[in-house]
Amino acid sequence: MKIVKIIWRDALAEGGRWMDEDELDDFADDDSQFLVSSVGYELRKTKDYITLMQNHCLENNFGGNLIKIPRRWIVEYTELK
């Protein structure tokens, strides 16, 4: 099992709502953090984004519960285990 801690800046601090074209949920109004495990989420890291998606969404091939964080917003990324 891999546990990661991700803390990122909020959308309003970065100049407005984020990724409207991806139809993601509104972002929090303050700094946000998630403590997630690979049991419940798929973690994908690219050059530009860190993406978290619930495993059942991948298995059933439908969208939802997707968190796509631009790397420039990342305050802290730590692999805890």
Q: Could you tell me the residue ranges of all domains in the chain? A: 3-79
CB neighbours of 3 closer than 8 A, spacing ≥ 6? Answer: 35, 36, 37, 38, 79, 80, 81
pLDDT, tens digit (0-9, with 9 covering 90-100), for 46-70: 888 888 777 654 444 445 567 778 8
State the pTM of this model.
0.51
Which is nearest to 65 in space by CA: 77, 73, 57, 74? 57
Q: What angle do CA 2, 80, 30 make, to 5 degrees?
A: 105
Q: What is the pLDDT of residue 12?
A: 60
Q: Where are the alpha helices (DSSP H) in the chain?
A: 55-60
* Summary mean pLDDT of the chain: 63
